[in-house]
Structure 1
């Protein structure tokens, strides 16, 4: 099928099915129609197509509000990590159900004492025969209340420096030792959760990568996270984004020269980020590792989000910040983009160190065993 036919077929399918409200039902339809995992390997349940088909479908999907949010972590972060770093058995077991919406995933990294400094985490996993026993707490976990499985980073060795004693696991979120509690933000909604692990038994077959080498797996996940956040993977489309260029044009008098100037600036920034993401995606599919440039894309999105929020506030007036207007919720959530997935300050440090080759910040803990550090809540 040529690209024009593919786009027409996708357009017709969306027109017929985009009204499906149940997320899992919609994902099953999406997968069965060939529009889930478009560029993922066929061997593990993907469609094995190219970036061109993926962009064509995304261009059509942006006109709809699709119920994909609960799958965003699986599609953008944990799934790609399993494809890259999981065993063949793990890929065969988890990837296809993820793409079909049969199972929802979350990512379990941040802790109360380890946010931007993820490697300071203290959740422990202790080997017990063919299993690991996990105890600890995670926080700021998106979609955990819906999740069937989670990708968990835990400390397995305290006698080595903090980056070298971590291991990645797939954990069953329905285990009786897992407790999920919602965290309400200032919008009154609970987009995040805190998770408690009490003697949770995880089979060694669910270990992703080698023991104590979890940091390298986490780096893979963080790369996919920043690329997926900046590209909007698994999001619901732009139709109902109240800070989009189209939405703002409907709210204001575009004949005003100042307004036109600001809207042009928004278009330029949005287009530049889209092109940058497109280039990173093409390089990734060609086997070129984007590395720290994924952090640059995430930083650009965070700055674009705040620019859109500031512009929307100035154009719509201070009244837009209150009430149940969708714009009020969007404005209240905007600062979170500069925090989730790594703060802007962390992104700038990564770009400066690993892209621009500037001198790194001094670090005194690189060779100190974790048990001897005073980090987070560890006294």
Structure 2
């Protein structure tokens, strides 16, 4: 493959800070909330994770693109990020099983990015100032044009985004032998969550984000799964109503990430936007039930209110983050309903938390 001649690219932050670098992907302009992921591998899984919809991702690993891309490593059918910021971007790859370069992958998907900037300095800046909106452009350096583009980027607070990444129609995924029927509310589900449920004998019927509970209940599932997804949980009101009704039926329910926040909201526990959020593969979490700690994969910018849970008579904390003591898991007393903020299905990533899928299976067995 002939080496590309890179355009100059600009990264402009909403506080006026800007960086100059070289373009990657498609030549153009893009905008979104700027956040960083500390994972050292798995860039294709990050780029295709629906929970990143609306965001520009900074990768803290130095080299991106060096092992190319392949279809088996996607978490959804599309690239979900709005843009990429990295230090070294490789148009060449050395993995024999790769199906193409990351540059070609981005060009086909229309993704704009910037490389050859000091991402260490940028991440330190974002850690201090907090996640903020930004624009990347490799087609113009006109400050006024970039400011206009930046002004058009919506704030993540109050933004409902599941409607952009959820399935448009109901579909089914079946195991070789069906043991349980699980209705999945798709707020932006990752493929490996589906794989983990199906491998445990769950026949899944996956529903769009705004499906009423009554429609899912017609299938008479043994339990419900509420998926991960992007945006502000406080704005995902239709899913909250469905979760309330699932709780009233006392059927097993498991939520991950945004699904965890939906369970909190359904119990009157508010969520709020974090200064930076948790995004990476090495977040330590303690299971308060077993006393054991686990290394987890995470991707979220909102969190449930710890003070509200502490005063709630029917909800108890099951997991906490050992870095900042934020809430990582809850369960509802007297109900077969639980959730975690992190990703037990992480692929690639730590497998310490896969037991949570087994816990869900035990509830399905108990209540069937």
Interval containing the TM-score (normalised by the shorter chain): under 0.3
**What TM-score does the superposition give when structure 2 sets the normalisation length?**
0.27
Decide which structure has greater helix share: 1
